[in-house]
């Protein structure tokens, strides 16, 4: 009985402790065993398990199991195993311990049944993940990590503030449906939106993820945004505002991804694009839409992880990640190139690949509920993601031109992790019903009907044709050695520049105030020295008789008055 009441994050935290004090093969065995044993343990747990405890006057629910949390629990165990396998060659205690704590924090968040527990793991997600960025140990990684941490902690502060307001308004600590009918709902919604990379709140992702280590980015891509998707599905299903926010999320990253040179940054924008589909599904709120959003979150962790793995392998082997510096690697890295193309086909929603069986659910639900303009936006976004993730990533990394780099395949553990992710993507695409059986609601949907397949193949064909025409005509944006800033320009350029100008404008006033203060201080010192200086009145020698006389006078006055 006690095993079913053991929260899934506990083995991960224990594993992180053991990993910190072990070395070599023993540590590798521990890191691989934790997600395997934890996954087996989770398979034996049924929905409905609840563990509660009293804290002061409140009832906390650190462990609450239902179909929604179970699916994310399975997903995070799979993602951890793939990430650990991919990073087995790393001999960095900081990365390995941080990754295990990060995965455990994600599990703690999705099984949290109250806002206080959720807040604790929400902040632990930020604190543990930032070390995967700093572990690269470059000045750019240090600065990006600091910006990342500030924004992530801000999300936690908003969550805590929303929880306190919610309690003050008579709400309970139970983490259930919240809605936008109160200030508390808006504060919590904004906290979730930051971690979900809503438009204008997304730059922590595109700023920090490309600066992380090659292995750290794989972990980062799996947990933070998916925990936020889970939180939205739990707290705000059917919130129509999410439909339009998600539609914007699917579209705007395309324009930045097309002109971006750093291929891991392209994938970061692509991550926002894919999360947008999930947000749309949650906003629609029907059973089909929620199922589609959750299924797409499951598939995205695997195929986006595969793409980040392939680019991480390129960075690990060549030391380069800009499209302008790569090309022709298919000759010396054919296995990595082939596995990357599986990830590209999956994210592009090719039939028989995982992206197709989940993305089509969201788009079908969008049409069924009458969101025609949103459906057109999702259609545009589907074509766009094929451009920047399905074609651009493998094309510029492996096929565009011969960069002259004579590389080699990455370590075997990297290839095994990529192969496992590729096989999972294909298996789910060919046989999606196993995944469908795990979804929160009963699934009555067939992805492989003629309409879905033909429409998607037409979209992909014309999108590929457009890419070829733009490339051959010279209209496709070239890969330039540059850094592109979008909304982060506000706090990375505008605000520092404004502060510097404000300081320059206030410097004369500051100088005048300082000079006046010094003159006033000099006057006070001069006045005090008149009385307390060596020749001052109070510094003189007074005869004893005079002192006795004054004491007698004061005593006489006291006697007269009292």
- Please check the confidence at residue 55 and state whether its pLDDT lies above 90: no
Q: Which residue has the higher pLDDT, 548 or 157?
A: 157
Give 61: exposed, middle or buried? Use CB within 10 Å, 0-12, 13-18, 19+. Answer: buried
Phi, then psi, of 114 in degrees rounded to 5: -140, 165
Q: What is the mean pLDDT of residues 24-52?
A: 90
Q: Which residues contact 521 (CB under 8 A, 6 or more apart)?
A: none
Say if CB 347 and CB 307 are below 8 A apart: yes
CA distance 85 to 414: 7
pLDDT tens digit sequence for 286-334: 999 999 999 999 999 999 999 999 999 999 999 898 888 888 898 899 9
Q: Residue 536 above 50 pLDDT?
A: yes
Note whether 257 and 303 are within 8 A (CB): no
pLDDT at 150 over 80: yes
Residue 529 in this model has a pLDDT that exceeds 90: no
The per-residue pLDDT for 378 is 94
Instruction: Centre a 10 Å sphere on the Cβ of residue 57 and count the other Cβ atoms it contains.
Output: 5
pLDDT (0 to 100) of residue 409:
93
Rounded Cα gap, residues 98 and 405, in angstroms:
33
Handedness of CA 533, 535, 538, 544 (dihedral sign): positive
Residues 145-158: b if buried by 16+ CB within 10 A, e if exposed: bebbbebbebbbeb
In this predicted model, what pLDDT tens digit does every residue of 436-478 receive, in sequence order? 999 999 998 989 988 888 888 888 888 778 777 776 777 666 6
Rounded alpha-carbon distances, angstroms, from residue 475 to 252, 387, 471: 20, 14, 6
- Tell me phi and psi for residue 256, to 5 degrees: -75, -35
pLDDT of 26 strictly over 80: yes
C-alpha angle 270-271-273 in degrees, rounded to nearest 5: 60
Tokens of 498: 């404004």
- pLDDT band for position 388 (cuts 50, 70, 90): confident
H, E, C per residue of 98-164: HHHHHHHHHHHHHCCCEHHHHHHHHHHHHHHHHHHHHCCCCHHHHHHHHHHHHHHHHHHHHHHHHHH
First to last CA, the chain: 85
Q: For residues 332 and 407, is the Cβ–Cβ distance under 8 A?
A: yes
More confident residue, 543 or 62: 62
Relative to beta strand 58-64, strand 50-55 is antiparallel
Contact by Cβ (8 Å): 285, 308: no
Mean predicted confidence (pLDDT) in 358-375: 93
Handedness of CA 262, 349, 443, 282 (dihedral sign): positive
State the Cα–Cα distance between residues 315 and 115, nearest whole angstrom.
Answer: 40
Measuring CA to CA, which residue among 151, 158, 165 is closest to residue 192?
158
Q: Which two tokens stand for residue 359?
A: 């993305």
DSSP state of 180: S
Tokens of 234: 């739990």
Instruction: Give the residue-averaged pLDDT of 340-350.
Output: 93
Evaluate whether 12 touches 104 at the Cβ level (below 8 Å): yes
- Give the ranges where 348-449 is alpha helix by DSSP (H): 354-368, 372-385, 393-394, 412-430, 433-436
Bridge-partner residues for 60, per DSSP?
53
| pTM score of the predicted model | 0.86
Residue 1 has pLDDT above 80, yes or no: no
């Amino acid at each position: 009985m006690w095993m079913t009441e053991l929260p899934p994050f506990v083995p991960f935290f224990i594993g992180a402790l053991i990993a910190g004090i072990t070395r070599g093969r023993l540590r590798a065995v521990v890191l691989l065993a934790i997600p395997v044993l934890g996954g087996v343990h989770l398979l034996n747990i049924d929905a409905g398990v609840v563990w509660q405890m009293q804290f002061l006057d409140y009832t906390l629910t650190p462990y609450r199991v239902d179909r929604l949390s179970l699916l994310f629990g399975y997903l995070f165990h799979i993602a951890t195993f793939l990430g650990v396998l991919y990073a087995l060659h790393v001999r960095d205690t900081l990365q390995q311990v941080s990754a295990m704590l990060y995965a455990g924090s994600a599990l703690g968040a999705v099984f949290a049944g109250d806002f206080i527990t959720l807040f604790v793991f929400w902040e632990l997600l930020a604190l543990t993940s930032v070390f995967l960025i700093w572990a690269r140990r470059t000045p750019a990684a240090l600065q990006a990590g600091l910006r990342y941490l500030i924004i992530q902690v801000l999300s936690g502060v908003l969550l805590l503030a929303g929880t306190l307001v919610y309690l003050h308004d008579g709400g309970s600590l139970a983490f259930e449906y919240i809605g936008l009918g109160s200030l508390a709902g808006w504060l919590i919604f904004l906290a979730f939106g930051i971690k979900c990379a809503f438009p204008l709140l997304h730059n922590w992702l595109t700023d920090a993820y490309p600066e992380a280590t090659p292995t750290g980015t794989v972990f980062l891509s799996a947990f933070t945004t998916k925990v936020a998707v889970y939180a939205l599905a739990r707290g705000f299903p059917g919130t129509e505002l999410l439909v339009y926010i998600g539609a914007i999320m699917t579209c705007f990253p395309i324009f930045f991804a097309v002109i971006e040179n750093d291929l891991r940054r392209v994938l970061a924008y692509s991550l926002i694009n894919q999360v947008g589909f999930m947000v749309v599904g949650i906003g629609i709120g029907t059973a089909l839409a929620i199922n589609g959003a959750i299924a797409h979150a499951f598939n995205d962790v695997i195929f986006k992880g595969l793409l980040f793995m392939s680019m991480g392998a390129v960075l690990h082997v060549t030391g380069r990640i800009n499209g302008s510096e790569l090309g022709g690697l298919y000759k010396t890295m054919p296995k990595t190139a082939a596995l990357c193309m599986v990830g590209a086909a999956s994210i592009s929603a090719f039939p028989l690949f995982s992206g197709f069986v989940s993305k089509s659910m969201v788009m079908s639900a969008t049409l069924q509920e009458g969101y025609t303009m949103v459906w057109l936006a999702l259609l545009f976004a589907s074509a766009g993601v094929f451009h920047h993730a399905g074609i651009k990533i493998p094309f510029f990394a492996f096929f565009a031109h011969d960069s002259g780099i004579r590389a080699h395949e990455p370590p075997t553990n990297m290839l095994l992790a990529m192969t496992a992710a590729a096989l999972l993507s294909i298996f789910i695409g060919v046989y999606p019903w196993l995944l469908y059986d795990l979804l929160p609601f009963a699934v009555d949907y067939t992805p492989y009907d003629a309409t879905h397949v033909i429409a998607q193949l037409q979209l992909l064909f014309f999108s590929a044709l457009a890419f070829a025409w733009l490339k051959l005509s010279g209209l496709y944006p070239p890969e330039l050695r540059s850094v592109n800033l979008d909304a982060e320009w506000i706090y990375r350029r505008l605000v520092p520049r404004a502060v510097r100008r404000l300081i320059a404008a206030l410097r004369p006033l500051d100088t005048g105030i300082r000079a006046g203060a010094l003159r006033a201080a000099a006057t006070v010192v001069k006045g005090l020295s008149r009385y307390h200086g060596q020749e001052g009145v109070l510094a003189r020698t007074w005869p004893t008789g005079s002192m006795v006389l004054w004491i007698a006078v004061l005593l006489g006055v006291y006697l007269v008055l009292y």
